[in-house]
Structure 1
Amino acid sequence: MQSTVPPRTNVADSIYDLNQTGQPIRMNLVLPEVAQLLLNAVLFASLIPSYELGLVATKSASIMVTSCGLAAAFILQLLLWLLLTWAVERLLLTLPNHLQFNLFGIYLNHVWIFRNQNWLVYLLYGTPMFAYFARFMGAEVDGELWYFGNTLYECGKLHFKGCTVIDSSSLNGHYIDGKGLTINDTYVSGVVHPGCFAVAGSVVAGEENGPWKVFLNNNNNHTAADSASIAKPTTSDDAQFVDEALASAV
């Protein structure tokens, strides 16, 4: 195998691995297919309650009852999808690392469709109710949380401290590179401006963070330039938060 390195490029580390997962190739191919089929079956079954409710509503002679019944069926379906997403995420976080890696693509697609694009979740943006929703999904919220979008993954690995404002940013409990998948805790505090991106093991602590800033894993072997992307604490409380977060993430 030949590789071409462009001129004036410094190659610091190789991410090419002949045996990345250490698992048989056949299992790597079969397992995601079986898991997707099972998930599709569960998704199909989740349509039954809302279908039955809608069917009953359409048999009513009253337009008002029919309209309310169909709206209730729609809301019920969105709630069922949120519960299913909660179960899928909890299941993923309990699996061994090699299974997490094999099934991670299915998980990402499911969360993107059924939680990050859920209309009921949109209604919670910018309200105090989102903090309760985040706690239900598994996140640790210590104080106020004001969320204005974009995406959340691995809520069970997200920790929010103090008064936290998230504006159009992506917060994750995972990190993927050529060496594999890492799932770890992510700690967030202060104002996170639009375009920020935090991965597993990172600490976002400061009064103002961003915009358009990447927060990398403090405990992975990143370069000094990468480490400079970590927000610097601006108060004594933030400094203590960073120390506690780093100690917990080790």
Structure 2
Amino acid sequence: MRNDTKYALVTGASGDIGREIAIALAKQGFHLYLHYYRNKEAIQLLREELLVFDVDVIPIQADFTNSGQITWLQESIFQLDVFVHAAGNSYYGLFQDMPDQEIKNLWDIHVHFPMQLLQKWIPKLQHSQSGRIIFISSIWGEVGAAMEVAYSAVKGAQIAFCKALAQEIAATGTTVNIVSPGMVDTKMNHLFNEEEKTAIITEIPMHRFANPSEIGEVVAFLASDRASYMTGQTMRLDGGWFMR
């Protein structure tokens, strides 16, 4: 039985961006499924932080490189109004040296697994009065990046998938959008040393990296009724880095 209660699933909720997305959605009253892979402690801490918002918080552990967990995860979600795919990892190095398993893992985590989940969950989202699908992609999916070739490829695939799916299901009122951050102050970007970070910052017109909370606020907007007529769009948050 449905009521005015809304549930959102955030994949990769143990990461810096996923955490801020969860907080922003909780502020709007969403009950949450919080997916994580290994960092259970981060989810427990986040769950305690979310108590102030008086929402249900349901942790869900799953390995997005393990196809055997797809059916289990599909059947673990009951009501679903918002799907946010923020899970991800990266690989930095020459493409010619990249192991096949790393390529497969990137594909599974960023594209294959969420596509399979949505095949099962789209009817749930369409049953909602305000179904939302939101992918956290990257500017590298739009412009590409040397040393992150495979990562750029899967992020580009996310954008193409969302644009096509948005057209396919728009008539049902379910929206599909992409948030495309530039450089964000996350642990994943700590692989750069201070000299490299400074070089990047000098290229960004706003002269700083994005805060993860800024990504969360954009996702919260896309999940809200205010974005009910916005679909198939890529919202870039890069501080003016790539104006093209």
TM band (smaller chain) = under 0.3
Q: If the length of structure 1 is used for normalisation, what is the TM-score?
A: 0.26
Q: If the length of structure 2 is used for normalisation, what is the TM-score?
A: 0.26
The structure in which a higher percent of residues are helix is 2
Q: Which has the higher contact order (CA 8 A, sep 6+)?
A: 2
If you compute each CA radius of gyration, which structure gives the higher value, 1 or 2?
A: 1
